[in-house]
Amino acid sequence: MMRFFVIATLACACLSAYARDCLIAVDAGHTREEQGATSARGTGEWHFNIALAKRLAVLLDKAGIPYVLINPDGDAIPLTSRPEAALKAGATLLISLHHDSVQSHYLSEWTLEGETHFYSDNFSGYSLFVSAQNPCYQESLDVARETADSLLGKNLTPALYHAEAVAGENRLLLDSLRGIYQFDELVVLRESPLAAVLVEAGVIVNREEELLVSTPAYQDKVTGALVTAIEAHCRRMRN
């Protein structure tokens, strides 16, 4: 009975989202204390994530699309509080922004300005993740597909290495052309009662891509693609 109640509650949250206008929850992954991956030059992933989140917020403002930034100060909060905050704000879609790394056995050492860092130039590109355990799975997948189509149209390339049969990877690749994976264990996707997509915008342990993802031109490609997908999401919410 309790299991049924939980599932029913999640489903209702999903369905109610379709009955009102759209609002986008923009989540900058990780925190100031737990910064996620470390880039090839020693910068914590969170700094890349929050920069991209703020750029997305600017474009959403310009497009007239309402949004809420989740944990903009990078406070130490549990993963489950991110979708909870999105739901509380009345969001219809959660976009979680991240930047990627690789498994440790692919990393090599290099020295920059007297400091040793770890890098891998063998992998690059974006990845998109959805969870089949999300009650709004189809809408999540639609947003991921539309985002990918726009990214491809801007000449960005998907990363396919997460599907490799190695420890720490072996993710289900739903669409190799678009770079969309199913990753049911991602808490921010699985625990979200609304549509949710996790975006890995680029591989920051790649020395060239680390610099690239920090440029306004690249950030505009990623956020512009997201806005295109978000606009389609909002049209569906209004119909």
The ranges assigned to domains in the chain are 2-238
Question: Model pTM?
Answer: 0.92
Helices and strands: H and E segment counts in the chain: 7, 9
Whether 1 shows a pLDDT value over 90: the answer reads no
Residue 205 is classified by DSSP as: T
End-to-end CA distance of the chain: 34
Strand pairing class (93-100; 195-203): parallel
Residues in the chain: 239
Asked if pLDDT for residue 20 goes beyond 60, the answer is no
pLDDT tens digits for range 141-192:
999 999 999 999 999 999 999 999 999 999 999 999 999 999 999 999 999 9
CATH of 2-238, one of 3.40.50.150, 3.40.630.40, 3.40.50.2300, 1.50.10.10: 3.40.630.40
Which pLDDT band, with edges at 50, 70 and 90, does 14 fall under? low
- Model pLDDT, residue 17: 42
**95-125: per-residue pLDDT in tens?**
999 999 999 999 999 999 999 999 999 999 9
